[in-house]
């Protein structure tokens, strides 16, 4: 059995490792050191481009649960990370150079993996391939991926924040569509009076933004076409009120009157556990998003499943073209992995590679793919990629909002998260044991 993996980042290394561990001869293609993307500098594999933190490691956190699931599924990169730890409190942080060096050594030493250092410009037309070329994929390969996927490739990620439904203040929001059109279950409305709005506007206009790299935004028209909410605020006191915060067609049931301004939240998933802030594309720093958006009364205690981002990010409209096993529906044997599939984060990318590698190996054996249970973080991320009903699909990292709720309501957040993690690991162990 043979397979190709294109890209030796986090997802590509995991995919190659999983395939090789199941007896598949893997040809791993990596363009470095002959060619570097604008964000990469280290010639080694599994380069950590931004932070050296892999987020929280505690089991009662979504990031910690994902890492524990990866450990139990035989993740190469979790082994490397655990071997390269540096002090970071409750987080798992690594010496990034040592991490890349160890991952590279393990890949090069595997007898079933052969590395070819060249830039791939086209997709193989036969056999099994895992494409893991990352969010900065460009040129001829990006064009071919877009063609094969029916033109569903996005080159810019302008995403509004997503909050959990249970963290909203039910006394300060109401369900309704403008003028009663479209039903009342699609939107939650967060009203503000004049004083609340003007305070929010002032803080938003002055809030600190994240730095934008030249390679993130090359076309000013793109940036203008999805204007950050903070830029809109700087253009005038009432600009947002005539834009995404317009209150027309809505009445606050508490007052019986039209609010001064309204922030609308749209359902992000079928279960109604996640909502995104309509029109709130933003480039504010994450801490500033939590602080400033917390001035919206209904969002004062909001928990964020993901913060808003604006950067260059080549990703697929995955639910339209991929299955939950990361395979292209229109072309059996072609799998995708990494951030380009719609997962976001270091270990989320690694998880997608691990899963794509496992599913590709099953395909080679003529066996059906087995998706991890939806109660697990790996299973929930798989379903986000292959089954998300959102009309505006956006990348998603690990968060408890994408897991099915517990049968019983646990009010204490830490206890609830611990229970979700306990259920996930119990179900994952059952899934893994059934493979033996």
Q: From CA 159, how far away is CA 207, in angstroms rounded?
A: 18
Q: From CA 395, how far away is CA 412, in angstroms rounded?
A: 28
The continuous run of DSSP H or E covering 56 comes out as strand 53-56
Q: Could you tell me whether strands 274-277 and 261-267 are parallel, antiparallel, or unpaired per DSSP bridges?
A: antiparallel
The H-assigned helical ranges of 61-133 are 62-72, 76-83, 96-109
Is the bond preceding 33 in cis, omega lying within 30 degrees of 0? yes
Q: Could you tell me whether strands 129-131 and 334-336 are parallel, antiparallel, or unpaired per DSSP bridges?
A: parallel
Q: From CA 177, how far away is CA 192, in angstroms rounded?
A: 17
Which pTM does this prediction carry?
Answer: 0.75
Parts of the chain belonging to CATH 2.40.30.260: 159-310
Q: Given a cut of 60, is residue 222 above it in pLDDT?
A: no
- Long-range contacts: 243-252, Cβ < 8 Å, 24+? 243/279, 244/278, 244/279, 244/280, 245/192, 245/197, 245/279, 247/191, 248/178, 249/178, 249/179, 250/176, 250/178, 250/189, 250/191, 251/176, 252/174, 252/189, 252/191
Q: CB-based contacts of 433: which residues, under 8 Å, 6+ apart? A: none
Instruction: Identify the pLDDT of residue 183.
Output: 57
Residues 302 and 167 sit within 8 Å (Cβ to Cβ): yes
Give residue-wise pLDDT tens across range 141-180: 888 888 888 876 665 656 789 999 999 999 999 998 877 7
Q: Which CATH architecture has domain 159-310?
A: Beta Barrel (2.40)
Residues 185 and 175 sit within 8 Å (Cβ to Cβ): yes
Report how far apart, in Å, the C-alpha atoms of 414 and of each of 166, 190, 291, 363 are. 14, 26, 21, 40
Give residue-wise pLDDT tens across range 251-302: 999 999 999 999 999 887 777 888 889 889 898 999 999 999 999 999 999 9
Neighbour-count burial for 12-30, b at 16+ CB within 10 Å, e otherwise: bbbbbbbbbbbebebbbbb
Q: Given a cut of 90, is residue 211 above it in pLDDT?
A: no
Residues 59 and 421 sit within 8 Å (Cβ to Cβ): yes
Strand order in the sheet with 91-94: 53-56, 91-94, 85-86
Lowest-pLDDT range of 191-195, 217-221, 330-334: 217-221
Q: Given a cut of 70, is residue 184 above it in pLDDT?
A: no
Q: Given a cut of 60, is residue 44 above it in pLDDT?
A: yes
Q: From CA 357, how far away is CA 21, in angstroms rounded?
A: 10
Nearest-5° angle of CA 407, CA 409, CA 412? Answer: 135
Q: From CA 309, how far away is CA 380, in angstroms rounded?
A: 22
Average pLDDT for 402-427? 95
Q: Could you tell me whether strands 162-164 and 304-306 are parallel, antiparallel, or unpaired per DSSP bridges?
A: antiparallel
**Distance in angstroms between the alpha carbons of the first and the last residue of the chain:** 21
Nearest-5° angle of CA 35, CA 82, CA 338? Answer: 40
Give residue-wise pLDDT tens across range 359-402: 999 999 999 999 999 999 999 999 999 999 877 788 889 999 99
Q: Rounded to the nearest 5°, which phi and psi values hold at 228?
A: -60, 145
Parts of the chain belonging to CATH 3.50.50.60: 2-155+313-433
DSSP string for 120-152: --S--SSS-EEE---TT--HHHHHHHHHHTTS-
Residues 160 and 280 sit within 8 Å (Cβ to Cβ): yes
Listed residue (244, 233, 236) closest to 200, CA to CA: 233
Q: Given a cut of 70, is residue 111 above it in pLDDT?
A: yes
Q: Given a cut of 80, is residue 213 above it in pLDDT?
A: no
Fold of 2-155+313-433: FAD/NAD(P)-binding domain (3.50.50)
- CA-CA-CA-CA torsion sign (430, 432, 435, 436): negative
Q: From CA 212, how far away is CA 222, in angstroms rounded?
A: 14
């Amino acid at each position: 059995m043979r397979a190709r993996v294109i890209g030796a980042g986090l997802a590509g290394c995991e995919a190659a490792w999983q395939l090789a561990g199941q007896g598949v001869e893997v040809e791993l293609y990596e363009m470095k050191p002959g060619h570097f993307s604008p964000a990469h500098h280290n010639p080694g594999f599994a380069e950590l481009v931004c932070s050296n933190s892999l987020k929280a490691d505690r089991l009662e956190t979504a990031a910690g649960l994902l890492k524990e699931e990866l450990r139990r599924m035989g993740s190469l990169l979790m082994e490397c990370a655990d071997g390269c730890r540096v002090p970071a409190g409750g987080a798992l942080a690594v010496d990034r150079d040592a991490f890349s060096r160890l991952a590279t050594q393990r890949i090069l030493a595997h007898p079933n993996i052969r590395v070819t250092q060249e830039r791939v410009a086209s997709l193989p037309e036969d056999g099994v391939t895992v494409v893991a070329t990352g969010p900065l994929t460009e040129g001829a390969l990006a064009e071919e991926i877009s063609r094969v996927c029916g033109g569903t490739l996005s080159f810019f990620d302008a995403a509004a924040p997503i909050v959990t439904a249970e963290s909203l203040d039910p006394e300060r929001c109401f369900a309704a569509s403008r003028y009663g059109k479209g039903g009342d279950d699609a939107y939650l409305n967060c009203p503000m009076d004049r004083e609340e709005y003007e305070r929010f506007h002032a803080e938003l206009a002055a809030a600190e933004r994240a730095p934008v790299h030249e390679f993130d935004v090359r076309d000013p028209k793109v940036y203008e076409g999805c204007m950050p909410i903070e830029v809109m605020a700087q253009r005038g006191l009432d600009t947002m009120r005539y834009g995404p915060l317009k209150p027309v067609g809505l009445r606050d049931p508490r007052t019986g009157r039209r609010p001064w301004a309204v922030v609308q939240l749209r359902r992000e998933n079928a279960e109604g556990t996640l909502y995104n802030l309509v029109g709130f594309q933003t480039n504010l720093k994450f801490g500033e998003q939590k602080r400033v958006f917390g001035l919206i009364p209904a969002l004062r205690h909001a928990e964020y499943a993901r913060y808003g981002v604006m950067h260059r990010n080549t990703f697929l409209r995955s639910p339209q073209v991929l299955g939950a096993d990361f395979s292209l529906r229109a072309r059996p044997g072609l799998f995708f992995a990494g951030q380009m599939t719609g997962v976001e984060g270091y270990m989320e990318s690694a998880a997608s590679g691990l899963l794509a590698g496992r599913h590709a190996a099953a395909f080679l054996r003529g066996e059906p793919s087995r998706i991890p249970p939806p109660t697990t973080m790996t299973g929930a991320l798989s379903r986000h990629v292959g089954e998300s009903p959102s009309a505006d699909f956006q990348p998603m990292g690990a968060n408890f909002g994408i897991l099915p709720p517990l049968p019983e309501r646990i009010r204490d957040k830490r206890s609830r998260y611990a229970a979700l993690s306990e259920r996930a690991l119990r179900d994952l162990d059952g899934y893994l044991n059934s493979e033996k």
